[in-house]
Amino acid sequence: MKVGCMLALLALSLAPMPTHAIEATQGDVLALPIQQSKQQPDLFCLQRHWPVLPAGKGRWRGWLGIDLRTPPATYTCHWRSDHRQWDTKLTVHAGHFRISRITVRKAMAEFDPATLSRIRREVRALKQCYGMHVPSRPDQIRMQLPVQGIESTPFGARRFVNGVERSPHSGIDIAAPLGTPVHAPLGGKILYVANMYLNGNTVVIGHGLGLVSVLSHMSQVKVRTGDWVRTGDIVGTVGQTGRATGPHLHWSVRFRHARVNPHSLLPERALAGEENLP
């Protein structure tokens, strides 16, 4: 009888937890809810691990970013906690992205060997920031707009520069008057400050948990590499440096290397999956 009870309890502890089917679009940030668990669960999806944060009363939220180029399909997200394993189905839909065309001077579209070498060096430095460890752990993954203005180029836009198609737009462009203060969208550590050939004056902020903001084309920079900033601190001013056709701020976000839509992190837009949270 004791053996039977032990087996029944073991079977119960290994039973899969209830799951929700989640739907999202390329570039979305998701909040995946799970039920009570004594231990912090582990979440693995889209070939990488994702942070899981407390949601109160023994519940948890798993945070996950869908890269701009993730192929539309249904994926399986794997959870593990308290000696249990279970899955969540995630369906990714194609985004509907507009076309953006700009005309710039030849030096900003066709590059000599020296300039191309500089651009590649700066891109490598930028990519290194996406994997840097930042000893910070935000309670929730929510941001604020770094500057008020008009969105001139949306996330995911297909870009044509002087008639030639380039890589898709991995952030949003916010047009604002020259010199308008630019604020940190979330607190964190300044990982990189540079005057880049294409991005102009750029500040990279590591927020922790693999979340990184890139703020570009600024006229002035008010921080240095290694500084710590709080949400809302001024980090620079709107400019037109680098490859820019007018004063604006380019704001992009990487979440564990995934190119995600900054709008997914703003409070006025419910994150995909949050409708299932208690």
pLDDT in tens, 10-46: 333 333 444 567 899 999 999 888 776 778 889 999 9
pLDDT band of residue 118 (cuts 50, 70, 90) is: very high
Q: Are 160 and 166 in contact (CB under 8 A)?
A: yes
Neighbours of 94 (CB within 10 A): 10
Best CA proximity match to 107, nearest among 116, 99, 95: 116
Please compute the mean of the pLDDT values over residues 78-88 and round it to a whole number.
86
CA distances from 177 to 71, 205, 214, 247, 249 (A): 37, 23, 19, 6, 10
Residues in the chain: 278
> pLDDT tens digit string along 184-201?
999 999 999 999 999 999
pTM of the shown model: 0.86
Residue that wins the pLDDT comparison between 251 and 107: 251
Neighbours of 102 (CB within 10 A): 16
Domains detected in the chain: 2-95 (2.60.40.1590), 99-265 (2.70.70.10)
Q: Answer yes or no: is pLDDT of 49 > 90.
A: yes
Please compute the mean of the pLDDT values over residues 103-132 and round it to a whole number.
90
Looking at mean pLDDT, say which of 110-119, 131-140, 157-166, 226-235 comes out highest. Answer: 226-235
